[in-house]
């Protein structure tokens, strides 16, 4: 299975990764085009586009100005799986992955990115903020979905083919998964949905659902899951599969009130 997750706004470039091994992102030529466009933006442009404070906008002006290739561990770059620190990554807990699980993740886990398109866990990246939903105009259109077009999907198809995999597990947010053209994807898309019980009802609660996506990604990597039935066996964190609530390839996992 190929598994896709979203990036995170929160980054950690201070804590060293647990491995010195790294790879190069495959769509860096496109990233360089985006950086060239972003360097044309003023602090006010960024604050408006990203809906952030002047302080954060100023930070990103500096990041865009300093962005350059090639990346190395000595020029402030870091492996993507260890650089992102959000709710998904809290659940995934990359720092405690075994070497064999990390290698499996390198083959099967992908991070969707507004700037880098598609990242493998060990692909180096520099600190950035460029969310997929931002309406940044480029020569390819008025937003990043138009900029990336079929490129991300083509890359996923190539990796699915190389592995002989028929499933793609969508553990990304709607904002990021919209960058994947599912009609052109040569795989069945499986989307786990996590619901927590609150006041007697089961509903998607964003904070818990994000962490559960990370827990699920780790479960798949550690157990080298290859089919849907194995996926349904996920019981980490108190979640359990609910057949009656699931439809098609949308697999519902519920957790009773804590």
Where in the sequence is the domain holding 143, given as residue range(s)?
2-255
CB 219 within 8 A of CB 225: yes
Q: What is the pLDDT along the chain (258 residues), one digit of tens a residue?
A: 999 999 999 999 999 999 999 999 999 999 999 999 999 999 999 999 999 999 999 999 999 999 999 999 888 899 999 999 999 999 999 999 999 999 999 999 999 999 999 999 999 999 999 999 999 999 999 999 999 999 999 999 999 999 899 999 999 999 999 999 999 999 999 999 999 999 999 999 999 999 999 999 999 999 999 999 999 999 999 999 999 999 989 999 999 987
Going by their DSSP bridges, the two strands 188-198 and 250-255 should be labelled as parallel
Instruction: State the total domains in the chain.
Output: 1
Residue 171's SS3 state is strand
Distance of CA 80 to the CA centre of its chain: 10
Rounded to two decimals, the pTM is: 0.96
CB 244 within 8 A of CB 184: no
**Angle CA 110–205–48, to nearest 5:** 70
């Amino acid at each position: 299975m190929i598994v896709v997750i979203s990036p995170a706004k929160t980054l950690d470039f201070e804590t060293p990764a647990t491995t010195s091994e790294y790879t190069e992102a495959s769509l860096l030529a496109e990233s360089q085009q985006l950086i060239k466009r972003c360097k044309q933006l003023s602090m006010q442009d960024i604050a408006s586009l990203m809906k952030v404070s002047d302080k954060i906008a100023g930070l990103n002006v500096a990041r865009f100005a300093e962005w350059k290739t090639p990346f190395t561990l000595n020029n402030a770059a870091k492996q993507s799986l260890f650089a992102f620190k959000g709710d998904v990554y809290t659940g995934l807990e990359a720092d405690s992955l075994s070497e064999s699980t990390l290698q499996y993740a390198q083959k099967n886990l992908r991070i969707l990115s507004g700037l880098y398109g598609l990242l493998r866990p060990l692909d180096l990246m520099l600190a950035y903020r460029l969310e997929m939903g931002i309406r940044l105009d480029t020569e390819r259109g008025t937003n990043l979905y138009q900029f990336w077009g079929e490129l991300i999907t083509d890359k996923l198809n190539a990796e699915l083919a190389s592995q002989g995999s028929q499933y793609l597990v969508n553990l990304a947010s709607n904002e990021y998964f919209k960058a994947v053209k599912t009609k052109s994807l040569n795989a069945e898309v499986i989307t786990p949905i996590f619901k927590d019980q609150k006041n007697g009802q089961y509903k998607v609660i964003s904070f818990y659902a994000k962490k559960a996506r990370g827990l699920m990604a780790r479960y798949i990597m550690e157990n080298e899951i290859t089919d849907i039935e194995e996926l349904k066996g996920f019981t980490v964190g108190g979640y359990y599969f609910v057949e009656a609530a699931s439809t098609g390839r949308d697999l519902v996992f519920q957790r009773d009130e804590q």
